[in-house]
Each structure stands twice: as C-alpha cells, then as structure tokens.
Structure 1
Amino acid sequence: MIFNTTHKNEDYDIESVALAGKPFSLIQRIKQGGIGSSRLMIHKISPKLNLGKLKFSEIDYANIELRPKGIIVHFTKKLERFSWIIPYYRLVIYNAQSFSIHANGNFIQFLKNKNYKQNKKFIDKMVQLKNNFLNLEYYDY
C-alpha cells in the first residue's frame, strides 16, 4: 500500500505496523548496523504507483526502511513524501542491469550507480532478513 506521509497519517501508522511490523528498537538497530538505506536514484516507477501527481522527469531518490515483517520504501516528489509498505511475503527483488523492487504488480526500478554500490551491504541484509522471516534456506543471493 502507498500512503502520502508528508504530514502525520494515522492510517499509515496502523497499516505499517500491521503489514511490516513495529519499528526495530534502538538496541536492535545498533546490533544490525542500521535499518535504513542511503538514497537510491529512481530510474522508473510503475504506472500504478504514479498517482497522477508524480511525474518522474527530474532526478528522484528513494530510501528503504527495514521492519521485522517487511520493508517501507520512502520517496519524495517536490514537497510531498510517499511511503510504500511491502510485506516480505510479497516482496520480489530483481538485480540485473538495474535493481528493482516489485510487489502486487507494482515496481520501482533503481539505477546501478555509486548510490547502489554504497547500498550493496544493505541490500544483502534486506535479502537475508526476508529469507529469515520466510524461513528460506535455498535462496541464492
């Protein structure tokens, strides 16, 4: 689900806890070495996520927040902030010529540039958390 989180949004708070779990505690964040990515440059976005207002013509960035049961992708457009909540059981990651996150027929595709290289360890951590949550031993990453 995608929410406009520019201002306090109680629906977002409820859905984010229901779908992705409560945020990690401070101690868990320190043990994991952080739960947020640095910014990733958006290359393409699914038409369903465009919401009419979002025209990705200039350079736009997103970051990813880890939660116990899923992730939240935060991206901004002009003065508005949007958050896309994705539970691990719906999360699909493609890592080919570009890096992309898919869920429910929607996607955000990121460029593989220096920002991606800075986030490589974070992406590996995200895949490992997904595998641990879904109890997948066979996933090749």
Structure 2
Amino acid sequence: MPTIRKFQVTFDCADPVRVARFWCEVLGYVAPPPPEGFASWADYEDSLPAEKRGAWFACSDPSGEGPRLYFQRVPEGKVVKNRVHLDVRVGTGLVGEERLATLEAESERLVALGATRVRVLLADEENESCIVMQDVEGNEFCLD
C-alpha cells in the first residue's frame, strides 16, 4: 500500500478569497501564481461568468512543508461546531507563563486580522494552555 505524503485541507465558506487571505496571514502561506495567460487573479476572475467568480481560492506553505489549504464557496452558512479544526502551534515547547504570554501575543495579532477570541483553556494535569479562536467566518481553531 502506498504512503500518502501530501494532503489538502478544504474549508467550506462564503467568501473563499477573504478566508484564504486571513489564513495566509496566520500561517505565512502564499497564494499561487495566477493561472497561465493571466497577469493577476483579478484578471482571471474577470474572465469567468459572474456566478463562478470568487468560487474558490487556495494557498500553500512556501516551504512546501505544510498542507495546501483550499477554500470553496458553499451556499449554506456554518451552523455547528467544526468536526475538524487546525491547531496553530505557536507555543510548542513552552510551558506555564511563558507559553501563555506567547499565546496571548499571537491571539492579539490574529484579532487584529479579524479573528475572534473564544476562550482560554488553562493548563491542567494533562494539557498545556491553549486559546480557542474563530477565523473571519467563525471556523474554530486553537492557538496551541
């Protein structure tokens, strides 16, 4: 059986470009170059029928290490808690007050980008502290 080494994470959303740009800022990801024959993504979008404009967008880790993120427009809004979420690993290796201060600083940066802070989960006997957040369309993620 072959080993799968690459995967893509897909987000259903109302505004794929807005959500993708948010995640580019969070993770340091980049948008791919526009399709061949187009000087920009705007030029490409202008070539599409109105109902297909803004239907999807993608971004990727410039180092090639992380998964590609794909954002697709869907007609329904988010109704319940995500079954899958991203953990943004900004506090790896840190503990106690140092970890919490790092998470707090990143939380402030992401709130300025349009994220919403939901709650802080303080360290216990099993887990270190993390902060539960929502992206610009309400998708949950954790600062871990």
Q: When you count helix as a share of all residues, which structure comes out higher? A: 1
Shared fold, TM over 0.5 = no
Larger Rg: 2
TM range (shorter): under 0.3
The alignment's TM-score, normalised by the length of structure 2, stands at: 0.27
